[in-house]
Structure 1
Amino acid sequence: MFLGTSRKLKTEMSRPHILALPFPAQGHVIPLMELSLCLTKHGFRVTFVNTDHTHNRLINALPENSIGDGIRLLSIPDGLEPGEDRNDIGKLCAAMPKVMPGKLEELIEEINRVEEDKLVCVIADANIGFALEVAEKMKIKKAAFWPAAVATLAFFYNIPKMIDDGIIDSNGTPFKKQMIQFAPNTPEIDSTNFIWTNIGGGLAQKILFDYTNKNREAVKVADTFIGNSTYDFEPEAFNLVPNMLPIGPLLASNRQGNSTGHFWQEDSACLEWLDQQQPNSVIYVAFGSFTVIDKIQFQELALGLELTNKPFLWVVRPDITDGANEAFPDGFEERVANRGKMVGWAPQQKVLSHPSIACFFSHCGWNSTMEGLSNGLPFLCWPYFADQFIDESYICDVWKVGLRFKRDESGIITREEIKSKIDQVVGDEKFKGRALALKETAIETVKEGGQSNKCFNKFIEWIKA
């Protein structure tokens, strides 16, 4: 989508103009959108560039006028055909570098030709390293943005060492199953859950591993590197990545809970339902935008929630399992009608800050992890893929604010296991106490004078310099 179709071309007073480009996935779009909203409050104008497919999802899910005045949404193609599966990350990562750099360059040239406010800076997701190379070529300031845990980036930085140490081969395949840890008080990672091994297999793994390596090199051209974390949450990981400026958790600085950048329309009626529940009583179950569960596991999860006898709010995306709305166990919806609420997508920040929520049953994506911590909630961990296993290790092993599940011999998390872990997390005040301490840390670091706030101000001064 080029400038001819956009609104508000020359209607605004001159403001420093930034182009922001996220990786095309929900967990990447939301934090970069949060950062963009923060920048508009400091007098910047942001052209937020998604892929065409992501742009259309975003527009369809947006409530009226929910993006601030200073942000304009544009898009470029991702290199895949309209009907191709964007959830196939290997295919997406193979296509994007072939098409997007040229399209991004054309867009930047057009913005700088047509508009009074020329671009002063490109902020690109570090998972789209080629965008930084385009900015370098066009002699525009460039910032890499890291939307995940800094421990995940440290893991990528250690790829050459893992090859040298004989942990993985040159295609990223582990030689054996083992636990890997790069520093004390950082997550332990199972070699079978390395990011490129748990997303794909075969060709997809090779594509992802190569894509990751190229990004690791590409971000070296960035003038500055900012991350959606705080030193207080992962100090040892920051020591492994010394050039990172922590400016997060970004969602903690947005206390109104009006986050934007979602791919589904939110069902706000669940907030009225939460208003009718007792304080600290509801299990909130939400697995992000990617998690898929087979039908047997889906039914065990439903029956586990029923067994707890506790109220629960469960986000059941239409594509979470085959025929999600018909996949519930027989009679389940009738039996839980007075204490269970199922929705297609929830206004998660507002849900997590609601006083009735007792714990967060989560896929452990970094955004969800930051949101849960920023609201002082204990966790139950159900990671699906990518960096979610790293975040699970932080939650269970390092911060000790949650529990993981054990699978039975057939790989299923049983209803009894689900009930048992929910009872443990909700019944043990120590989990809540540690979570509340991390909430205080999150709020302190983003408020005036806090470390992330100082780093954010330093970043703004750098752009304006």
Structure 2
Amino acid sequence: MAAEHHQLHFVLVPLMAQGHMIPMIDMARLLAQRGVIVTFVTTLVNASRFKTATDRAVESGLPIRLLPLRFPCLEAGLPEGCENLDSIPSADLIRNFLDAASMLQQPLEQYLQQQQQPTPNCIIADSYLPWTSRIANKFQIPRLIFHGMCCFSLLGSHNVQHYNAYKTVSSDSEPFMVPGMLHRVEITKAQLPGSFVVKPELEDIRRQIREADLTAYGVVMNSFKELELGYVEEYQKAIQKKVWCIGPVSLCNKDDLDKFERGNKASVEQNQCSAWLDSMKPKSVLYACLGSQCRLVPLQLIELGLGLEASNYPFIWVIRTADRFAELEKWFEERIKGVPMITWPMFAEQFFNEKLIIHVLKIGVRIGVEVPVKLGDEEKVGVLVKREEIEKAIKLLMQEGNEGEERRNKASELGQKAKKATEEKGSSYLNMSLLIQEIMQEGQKKCSQNKES
């Protein structure tokens, strides 16, 4: 199949945040494995984080081009080098960051104009970068939206807004039914993604995102049909656009060292982490991962650490540290020296994700968080979950009884389905073929129209 469309050229433009860039890098690899030329747009600082991944992809013969553009930090009122959302010192600078990102439009356009062959056939851009729709219009090519969310969460958000469902409750903590879902889903207004409560200074950006979404050709999802239990079709009907689920895209990357090294440098070597895991019984280690945007106060993180410790299960916990976390680092040095650490955020669509995991897929245990921690409000919120609740949830998750075994079996089955979906003839594999075929046809149609004119 690769030989049929080796001239296709996709331009990928991710939001500069780890949870958005990493799947886009894997998506670039996935497209390139099918013979599609890919230009991956990023900035100088972010390019250094993924240099290993792109270098190895190029060395292996994959047609991936890394395009590092200068990020206009100073012009947008950002500190120099603040080129990723995880490096923003304050939530008040989110507007500045998005403004800086929009300034990449002109240099990207200039680069694409200077490239005589091959001209771009498609642009896949993060939904938070609405200015990419203007580039798509300029080059008369389809623009596909990339969402970091699943179809279940996107449909839930869409239906709440479409039916004004959140206006039926009198308080932020009162649960209400999400209309138009295939399962019974209840949520509170406080738990809704941030798009429902937008700061006035960001309202114009939210409007631009909505307008750009309406004009998009379709949506690309890092999910797979078997995970969504009918929600791909429901979401597609709701937005009246094509939706291609091509994930989990991480399964296309077989290079463990590449996956370990990309992003910020870890304080623990890969071999050290692997050796420790190999010394443990199978399925006995808890992995605590809370995301690159986690800014919870040290007291809450210490409560999490104490809960992990009290559970008496071995665990890996990778955590993002900074100067303000000196208290936390000292606590770790005294209690669990040598264990890897990680971070956690609680925002955006994660409460919808929880509904999918707990009530629909039935593969998890709630820890009990009811209120999101919005960027900039960490100090106000303080400690949300006590160590006893953390310990209880861990023991419930890791228990050996029928309930725990059933959860593990269901999760294992989904893992097998995910693997099968990305293999040849699997649902995600076929969706990628259909996506490439559709963009090829659009390109041929454009060529025919140009010849006629």
Shorter-chain TM-score: which interval? 0.7 to 0.9
Q: CA deviation at 1:179?
A: 3.4
Could you tell me whether the CA contact under 8 Å between 2:300 and 2:382 is conserved in 1?
no
Task: Say how many residue pairs are matched.
Answer: 400
What's the offset of the Cα at 1:102? 5.3
> Aligned partners of 1:282, 1:160: CA distance in 2, in Å?
40
Using a 3 Å threshold, how does the CA distance of structure 1 residues 27 and 87 change in structure 2: closer, same or farther? farther
Task: Give aligned-pair identity as a percent.
Answer: 24
Match of 1:434 in 2: 410
Question: CA separation in 2, counterparts of 1:105 and 1:126?
Answer: 19
Deviation at 1:401, TM superposition (A): 0.7
- Residue 316 of structure 2 contacts residue 341 of structure 2 at CA under 8 Å; is this kept in 1? no
* Stretch deviating more after TM superposition (76-85 or 427-436): 76-85
Letter in 1 for 2:293: F
Counterpart of 2:227? 233
- Matched residues in 1 for 2:386 and 2:171: separation? 29
What's 1:405 paired with?
A: 367
Report if the CA contact (8 A) 1:187-1:398 is conserved. Answer: no
Classify 1:180/1:75 alpha carbon distance in 2 versus 1 (closer, same or farther; 3 Å): farther
Q: Does 1:86 align with 2:85?
A: no
Q: Name the structure 1 match of 2:377.
A: none
Query: In structure 1, what residue type is equivalent to 2:188?
Result: D
Describe how 1:37-436 pairs up with structure 2 within 5 A. Answer: 37-59=29-51, 62=52, 65-68=55-58, 69-73=62-66, 74-77=68-71, 79-83=76-80, 86=88, 88=90, 91-93=93-95, 95-96=97-98, 98=99, 100-101=101-102, 103-158=104-159, 160-163=161-164, 166-167=167-168, 177-182=174-179, 183-185=181-183, 187-196=185-194, 205-208=199-202, 210-242=204-236, 243-257=242-256, 258-259=258-259, 262-266=262-266, 267-268=269-270, 269-319=272-322, 322-323=325-326, 326-328=329-331, 331-333=334-336, 341-343=338-340, 363=344, 384-406=346-368, 411-427=383-399, 428-436=404-412
Contact in 2 for aligned 1:186/1:234 (Cα 8 Å)? no
Q: Deviations over 1:81-140 (max 9, x none)?
A: 2346636456334653x4544532432333332443222221111222221232113312
Q: What SS does the corresponding residue of 2:283 show, helix, strand or coil?
A: coil
CA distance, structure 1, for counterparts of residue 28 and residue 299 of structure 2:
41
Structure 2 distance, partners of 1:412, 1:164, is 27
Residue range with higher mean Cα deviation, 48-57 or 272-281: 48-57
Counterpart position of 1:447: 423
Assess, with a 3 A threshold, how the Cα gap between structure 1 residues 262 and 387 changes in structure 2: closer, same or farther: farther
- 1:134-188 C-alpha deviation (Å, 9 max, x unpaired): 21133123222222111332244336435487359xxxx9766333423132754
**Which runs of 5 or more residues in structure 2 are unaligned?**
1-5, 237-241, 371-380, 442-453
C-alpha distance 102-286 of structure 1, shift in aligned 2 (>3 A): closer
Cα contact 2:69–2:104 (8 A) shared by 1? no
Compute the RMSD of aligned alpha carbons: 3.3
State the Cα distance separating 1:56 from its structure 2 match.
5.0
Alignment partner of 1:238: what SS? Answer: helix
| CA pair 80-163 structure 1, distance change in 2 beyond 3 A | farther
Distance 1:187 1:143, change over 3 A: same
Cα gap change, 1:92 to 1:272, in 2 (>3 Å): same
Residues 197-227 of structure 1, C-alpha deviation per residue, up to 9 Å, x if partnerless?
79xx8xx634455534432321222223221
For the 8 Å contact 1:57–1:264, the answer to whether it is kept is: yes
| Higher helix proportion | 2
Aligned to 1:8: none
Distance 1:52 1:189, change over 3 A: farther
Q: Which moved more, 1:184-193 or 1:441-450?
A: 184-193
Higher strand share: 1
Check conservation: 2:422, 2:429, Cα contact below 8 A. yes
Does the C-alpha gap of structure 1 residues 322 and 463 become closer, same or farther in structure 2, counting only changes over 3 Å? same
Aligned pair in 2 of structure 1 residues 212, 153: CA closer, same or farther (>3 Å)? farther
- Distance 1:454-1:161 versus aligned 2 partners, 3 A rule: same
